[in-house]
Amino acid sequence: MTSINTLEEWYKNALLISSPLLISAKLSRDKVEFIYEQLKFGFGEKFFYLKIGIDIPLDKAIWIHQLLANMNHLGSIGALYQISLLIQYTSTLERNIYNEISRVKKNPRNLRTFFL
């Protein structure tokens, strides 16, 4: 079955909408790079792979994938930026707190609670 990397797809689109060649870019290229690097660092590349054609109930869907799917929505990009800031911050804390991301990332409800 085919899979897609939601982070990479988001990143390709974000590079387009943050292009310095646009008259008015939707967001800064620095912010795009920061979001991309922090999410990849915080969750690992494997986290962002989804199999195409498999229906996932909403209560089991990982909401970060949903934010990434809303590629042009500035609110979703803002939320991804806030998550990235939190990942950066947790990496400055004790290692066990940062490792908590790895522990909760497979449970959508716990992951959401971790970032609240």
Q: How many domains does the chain have?
A: 1
pLDDT recorded at residue 61: 67
Q: Which residues contact 32 (CB under 8 A, 6 or more apart)?
A: 11, 14, 15, 18
pLDDT recorded at residue 59: 63
Predicted confidence band of residue 26 (pLDDT cuts 50, 70, 90):
confident
Widest pairwise Cα distance in the chain: 45
Domain span including residue 38 = 3-115
